[in-house]
Every structure is written in C-alpha cells, then in structure tokens.
Amino acid sequence: MDVLKSINQAIPELSKSQKVVAYYILENWQTVAYKSARTLAEELSVSQSTILRTADQLGFVGFPALQEALQGVINERVSILSQLDLAATEEKKQGSATDEIAKVLNLHEANLQKTFRQLDAEKIKRVASILLEADRVAVVGMRSSSAVAHCLGFNLSFIRGNVQVFNSDYMLLEYIASMSPADALVVSSFSRYTMAAIEVARTAKKKQCKVVAITDNMTSPLIAIADESFIVSTTSRHINHSFVAAIAVVDAILTLMTRTGQQNARKRLTGIEEQVDSLKIFYNT
C-alpha cells in the first residue's frame, strides 16, 4: 500500500495531537523525510514523544522507519529532471572540488555504515547456501541496477557454474520460464523499480525458485516477493544511486560462498586460470 495513503487511513484512530502531526506529514512529506524528530516537534509545538508515538501509531517501528518509508516515496516520485534541478541548486552552494569530493566520500561511508547496521550475518549465510546449492542461478538487474547484477554474476561464475546474468529482457522470460524449484534468482532493483525486475521475481516465485533481492527500501515491491532480501543505502549526491553499499553486500556474500565451498571454488578457478593462460588474455609485463 502507498505510504501516504496508509498514513491518511490511520488518521481517524489518532489522538488530537497525533492528528496534527499526521496531517503535517501528509502536507510536507518531502521535508519530514529528512528532519529530526526534535526539529519536527519544535515546529509543531508538540513534545518529541508525541512525534515518536505518532510514528508508532501509524504502523512504523519508530520515527526513523517512517522517514525511510517517506524517502522511498521521494525516490519513486522525483524524476531525473527534478534531481538535475536540485543538483543545479546545490552546485551554487558548493565549495572547492576538494570539499565536494570529501562530501561524496563521506556519503559513501555513511551508506556503508547504515547498511552494515542492518546486515544480518545469518541471512548472508543462508543466501550463500542458496547460491551454492542451486542447480542454476539467474542474476537480474535492469538499467543502472545492472552494475550490481554484473558484479555478482561475473564473480559468481568463478565460484560455481550455471550462472546467467541478465541486464535486459532479451531471452530473460524464456530463461525464467525454464527454471525449476531447484534454481535460484537474484534480482537487484532500486527506486524507481523496473516492472521487468518485479515481474521476473514474481514469475520465479510462482515456479517455487528461491528468490533473493538486493534493494533499497522496505517499501520496495521486491520485499514481499523475495525469500531473502538485503536493504542497502543508496543515497547519492548526483542523479543516480550510489551502489557502494550494494557492492559491499555482494562482496560479503561472495566471500562467504568462497569460504564455504572452498574446494569446488579452487578447482573451478584453477580451470579458469588454465584457459586464461592458454588464450593469452592478459598482457605479460
């Protein structure tokens, strides 16, 4: 359900002060998404605890969860042109190139820290097992999400066989149609979520395949479909997402897979290296 629609439907059950907060959120959701609970409380002349209780009453596990949902709405609704306009406005406030680079790197670090706080080691173990034990693995990522899919698929092929990467719908539906419950699908998609990624996940789920999602928000449609999902922070200072945290999660999965299936991975890597040497792919210094 749409987050704003959900908030609107919950209003009749709120107290008088909580209704004030809820109506303000509906009218100013784009700014509320990035304000602290204290700032919001001061603006509305209510206590900070009222802000926190309102978030709980609206069905969120705390105010940060409400903000994350609102940020998801922003990502879905803000067009690339709007982002460019915002970037142009921000550019006027920028300092030196060194300052800007520092901001970018600090943002990457913040994305990594936020993602790490949410990571579940047991989930990574489960996903590593799924990808090691599956007969075949399809890795899907459309448009910009293809960067994450390619990173996972390319490196996965060094660890095990029968890995196929798709970054367009060419032959994708035919491949998914041939999948069985013994196969697995990994799909990466970030707001604005592509219909192709969502439909592929649904189809694979109907065929009882294991589905793993790498996405950016609890409001992502992939969350309800996937058997296992990773939520990564993708905040960026330019018009597209930052995939630093997503690649870090992929690296963690691959590392655990290599450790768990070390013998098979070593055998496969040895064979690949022999082929690389025979074909003289790399430049010899």
Look at residue 285 and tell me if it is in a domain. no
Burial class (CB in 10 A: 0-12, 13-18, 19+), 259: exposed
- 125, 131 Cβ separation under 8 angstroms: no
Look at residue 284 and tell me if it is in a domain. no
Q: How far apart are CA 279 and CA 151, in angstroms?
A: 23
Asked whether residue 151 falls in the same domain as residue 235, the answer is yes
- Residue count of the chain: 285
Look at residue 105 and tell me if it is in a domain. no
Asked whether residue 234 falls in the same domain as residue 152, the answer is yes
State the total domains in the chain: 2
Distances (CA, A) of 87 to 72, 129, 233, 263: 19, 42, 19, 49
Asked whether residue 146 falls in the same domain as residue 58, the answer is no
> pLDDT (tens digit, 9 = 90+) per residue, 36-76?
899 899 999 999 999 999 999 998 888 988 988 888 777 66
Q: How far apart are CA 179 and CA 137, in angstroms?
A: 9
Burial class (CB in 10 A: 0-12, 13-18, 19+), 199: middle
Q: Which residue has the tokens 């969350």?
A: 223
Nearest to 196 by CA among 150, 246, 145, 247: 145
> pLDDT (tens digit, 9 = 90+) per residue, 137-154?
999 998 888 999 999 999
pTM over 0.85: no
Residue 80 carries which DSSP code? H
pLDDT at residue 1, as a whole number: 46
Asked if the model's pLDDT at residue 78 lies above 80, the reply is no
For residue 136, the one-letter residue type is: R
Q: What one-character-per-residue DSSP string does 64-113 give?
A: HHHHHHHHHHHHHH--HHHHHHHHHHHHTT---HHHHHHHHHHHHHHHHH
Asked whether residue 67 falls in the same domain as residue 122, the answer is no
Look at residue 187 and tell me if it is in a domain. yes
Q: How far apart are CA 225 and CA 212, in angstroms?
A: 9
> pLDDT (tens digit, 9 = 90+) per residue, 158-200?
888 899 999 887 788 889 889 999 999 999 998 878 888 999 9
Look at residue 45 and tell me if it is in a domain. yes
- 188, 148 Cβ separation under 8 angstroms: yes
Distances (CA, A) of 279 to 57, 62, 159, 269, 273: 64, 57, 20, 15, 10
Domain final position from 77, 93, 126: 77
Q: What's the CATH number where 169 sits?
A: 3.40.50.10490
Q: Which residue has the tokens 């040895």?
A: 270
Segments forming the whole domain that contains residue 257: 118-279
As a dihedral over the C-alpha atoms of residue 181, residue 186, residue 189, residue 193, rounded to 10 degrees, the angle is -10
Nearest to 7 by CA among 16, 20, 17, 23: 23
What mean pLDDT is predicted for residues 79-86?
56
Q: Which residue has the tokens 């309102």?
A: 54
Task: Supply 282's token pair.
Answer: 């790399």
Look at residue 83 and tell me if it is in a domain. no
Asked whether residue 125 falls in the same domain as residue 72, the answer is no
Asked whether residue 152 falls in the same domain as residue 53, the answer is no
Domain final position from 23, 50, 77: 77
Q: How far apart are CA 69 and CA 50, in angstroms?
A: 19
Asked whether residue 150 falls in the same domain as residue 224, the answer is yes
Asked whether residue 255 falls in the same domain as residue 178, the answer is yes
Look at residue 101 and tell me if it is in a domain. no
Q: What's the CATH number where 59 sits?
A: 1.10.10.10
Considering the chain, what is the average pLDDT of its residues?
Answer: 84
Look at residue 112 and tell me if it is in a domain. no
Domain final position from 77, 97, 128: 77
Asked whether residue 50 falls in the same domain as residue 123, the answer is no
